[in-house]
Chains A and B, each alone.
Chain A
């Protein structure tokens, strides 16, 4: 492909023009992506009266005062309990989902049994079915089990995560040689021990990627938690956002509103920026492609 230049300077100029155009468009699109978060950050540092004066791109010095005011709202908007609740639900979901998805993928990958092909096809088929369509029955089940206002119905179902399973299965095909498991058997290692002490460590990169995805999607989940958690002490961040939205805005400090949004968005952004390389690679790998 490098030979393009030898075709003459005309084509060379053409390439430069196209590259220039690509950079300009990419720069515009990047600005469009980041603009909102920049504005959010700037507005979180400005006070209520400054915000009322209108648009500005100059950060001010009220960041910590806004956060302090938000925390002081206490019962009206229990942000600290909300953060803790979200952290518990998302963290435990990520742990359970990755561990058991590796286990399910391992069952299909390493063993030969009659229902193997059926199970694999079945899991792929249910992968796309949205949780919302069975939410009604789920809600009845949860209230029947007296698990309303409990985190269990938000955490335990993540054990059966078809998308995470599929990713783990793909990863195993490329980097879990069956000969290794054979070798462990010859050394007298039990199947369960082999799984925990050989398979799990080898799957670390895949587990890291999927743990982040599960954590983020659980952290962001609004639909199901809103149906199950009614106790103000049990609410997660997205429910608090909805609560904030339905408050009386005439006597609400706008700086506090921005601080609340910032606290729900920026933790994820920071983690993402640290790990972005793996995440972007993970998206491409997890896609169902030929």
Chain B
């Protein structure tokens, strides 16, 4: 057989036995080359077969079958033997290859594992969250420092081997235990909860817990992972915010608010002296050299004063644009003032500008303990104004007497809302006397605050915008009280008189307010007398008319007897007018004029009442002038006192009535 034909047969026999990654032509050519080589070097043919990958289980048999008719047995035997050896070597090579591959795979896995372990450790150690890995008995296998810190221990190692449940709040143990079990049993993947832990020092700490489970390679749960977020961190943040609220951002000193609270804490302790500094001519710097320079100057002042305050163990604050305050244990004022001026007077250069610094200083020395910090600040401020008024580099000591006069009624007005809120404004009841019979006609409900009269109180209320709410409150409360008296004492209960302030008298809601007060308290309308400020009626307001139409008896307060007022009496259906005037001495010419006026009022069918009549003599004079009733003969009583009076007056035998 020709060699090419043999090669083709060999190829067809060989290819089904193994995958040879070559085209048929290529394989055939390689086999033809082998046939030519075979007699001389059967070994190299064997190696070629193996390198071609003609290494299937049947490859050698197929080869021998095809070649045996043509080649001698010794040649084929040598080839077969070499083939076996080549296969052996090939197998070794492959084993070596896969061994190296496996070692590398293992190294890579180990490296990956190491990296991921290192990563985990880094995350674990540096996490802001507390992390604990616990076994299913709750014992801590590993915990980080963040967790230790949350529960009040030094390091994560201190937590190891402890039962994490030690740190649960006793009330939470059962509920948390159930949740942990659910995670362990796979009912849920994880849970999150807001709970209170108990630190080792017994302090509670609010935390968010996030709990999940660790599994082994086969997916079996082995440990719990508990992440703990200290949400009292929020409180830290709060503290941070507080710092910002209490400190001046430019100089870093305490601000006014902080200073006041520091003063407050000192007030009950040792005597103090307060210095309120205002930089002289600071506005000149600010305007002339720019605000930036001004800011730098303020920082310099702050630094110097801080140094001074540190030496003196004093409390320092920036309490205004160019104002600072220093609180020291009471000392010698003059020398301290001089020291402050010295500190400020050191040569000062800002942006190459030499600036002469001085301050005006208001001083409050050893204030009495009952003074509030705010009052103290105000005193120091007013002393500073006085010092400034005297010129630069001056100081002034606060004078308490001078101050009291200046405060006047403004302070009172300013404190009125608070006083009302705290129940310091009371309602009292002043009797209305009939001048003819001396009987009590009723009780006038009035405001009472400190030493102020009803009218002063109402005037103050008007200036603060409180008169309407206070007026409504008075109306309602007095109606309620009067209704209780009616319920308890029936006909003997006093008729309620209320004098409304100017604002309330023309309030468009007045009628509704009155009706509501009557409805809600159950006071019969005929038991109420409302005195409206006459100015409202003069201004054309129709509240008096509408009230009259609603069955409320009305009066006009503040009557002076003017022509316009008399004219109003012909149009507005009122029962009486009330005036405040000196009692008309029967011997004076005024007496006659007053008699004539009262007669005129009477001629309109209107009664004449007088407020603020405090003596029987005055009352008698008014009676002689023709007046019908007076208020003020007896001091006003509290509701309880009135009730008591009514109760005791109830005891006389029935025959007397």
A-B interaction: no
